[in-house]
Structure 1
Amino acid sequence: MATNLHAASLLQKPATHGYTRVKTMQESDRQLSLPQRPIILGIAGCSGSGKTTLARELASQLEATIFPLDLYYRDLSQIPLELRDKENFDDPDSLESELFVEHLRRLAAGQTIQRPVYDFTHHTRVPGAFDSVSPARFLIVEGILALHYPELLPLYDFSVYVNAPNEICLNRRIYRDMRERGRTEESVRAQFEATAQPMAERYVLPSQAHANLIVEGTEDLDWSIEQVLRELHKRGLLQ
């Protein structure tokens, strides 16, 4: 069952001297040298909820490797270019989840993997291109469907769902896709209404039931980080 610390009446927002303090080099070295498998965190939420921002800040503080699900979209090079934008990229089948799970298990075992490079403008994988990804003390799985696939859930040591209103998610998605993925505002809005929102209601929103913690994507980022780190510490996952 999820712990929604935002709604908990007994929890007060802590001062800045909590677990978000900067670790010393000695502490970081000690953390990374612990002789155990990587700790895997899952972060999910609707597109534009703020989960990627949360994952990046957590990765910075934990010296973690981020492992995004959306880099595992299936290659659509066999489909004419003008038809690719009509694909439903918010459906679970649009991702090669089998390969993702295989790679995550290998990272959890301490192995380096070769991740395919995805071209979001053309919806294809770059032929012959791979990114080498090595495990760190913490692995952060991030994606709208990170808590949807049953095969992933047993691999997580801790999971977070980031909640945010639809209008905010849409505005953030427009900004991101235009800046990072070569999309137009019209195409992003059309995709949101046709597939993103319906798929979120069908697959993403129900997946929050699998989260250990729910945070609000509209709240101060430092507060969200503090909540996650406090929970990790309380569960013995962070020294």
Structure 2
Amino acid sequence: MISSFLIAMSGGSGSGKSTLADALIDRLGPGQAVIFHEDGYYWPMRHYGPCETEAQRAQIIAAANYDDPASKDTRHLANDLAALKSGQYIDQPVYDFDRHDRAANETHRIDPAPIIILEGIHALSVPEMIPLIDLSIYVDTPDDLRLARRLRRDVIERGRTVENVLQHYLDTVRAAHYRFTFPSKFEADLVIADEGLPAYGKVCPGEDAIDRMLAPVISRLQSAGVL
């Protein structure tokens, strides 16, 4: 099988990269592409030490910086990505955000496809993955819009308090973004400006906005002979 074409799509938390990745999947059509989320590769809690009691688990959660690439098993991540790109299926780990731990007996099978879309805040920040990438994309979104989206997600979908989300953002998220994620903007093949894809609630992005954001990506794929 010919090696798959790997698109790596990064941007800060709440930048809209997942929305753009899903839109690209829809535009390419069935069987043409698969999404590879990096979140499954967060280290299991046991990686940090004993976690049998609630006190131990709480201590690990408080100390871990999940916005640093070191919070992920990047070797496993790069190996799975290389295998998928070479035409092999993979069983991707699944991370349970409610428990802050990797699911012990659950994996997600991903079959190879002509195009792989790697999506995540560290998609362009892991040295082992850089040689595998054929097209790098950074979704550039204002900080206030990203924070609004993150606040809504963590409070409504993950049951956290506003105070907890804001404290976490100020303690680790913001600093890690500017240390690890933001610099990749200046190395990316494409920088795509977010046009306000849903900041709050279930607002759907307009077709015109999606078209404008996808246009440079489709053009690059056509120039590379992938489409």
CA distance in 2, matches of 1:180, 1:97: 27
Taking the TM superposition and a 5 Å limit, the aligned residue runs for 1:12-51 are 36-51=2-17
The one of 167, 171, 186 equivalent to 1:190 is: 167
The one of 65, 75, 83 equivalent to 2:59 is: 83
8 Å CA contact retained: 1:84, 1:123 = no
Matched, 1:153 2:122: no
Greater mean alpha carbon deviation, residues 214-223 or residues 141-150: 214-223
The one of 175, 199, 217 equivalent to 2:152 is: 175
Matched, 1:115 2:92: yes
Match of 1:235 in 2: 224
1:174-202: per-residue Cα shift (whole Å, max 9, x none)? Answer: 12223443433322211111111101111
Matched, 1:68 2:37: yes
Matched, 1:55 2:59: no
8 Å CA contact retained: 1:81, 1:122 = no
8 Å CA contact retained: 1:45, 1:144 = yes
Between Structure 1 and Structure 2, the one with more helix by share is: 2
CA distance in 1, matches of 2:159, 2:44: 18
- Please provide the CA RMSD for this pair: 1.6
Q: Which amino acid aligns with 2:57?
A: L
Matched, 1:210 2:187: yes
Instruction: List runs of 5+ in structure 1 lacking aligned partners.
Output: 1-34
TM-score (norm 2): 0.84
Deviation at 1:221, TM superposition (A): 2.5
Greater mean alpha carbon deviation, residues 184-193 or residues 129-138: 184-193
Match of 1:32 in 2: none
Identity of aligned residues (%): 36
1:86-105: per-residue Cα shift (whole Å, max 9, x none)? Answer: 22110110011110101011
Task: State how many pairs are aligned.
Answer: 204
Q: Which amino acid aligns with 2:43?
A: R
Deviation at 1:158, TM superposition (A): 0.7
Q: Which amino acid aligns with 1:83?
A: Q
1:8-27: per-residue Cα shift (whole Å, max 9, x none)? Answer: xxxxxxxxxxxxxxxxxxxx
Deviation at 1:125, TM superposition (A): 1.1
Deviation at 1:234, TM superposition (A): 2.2
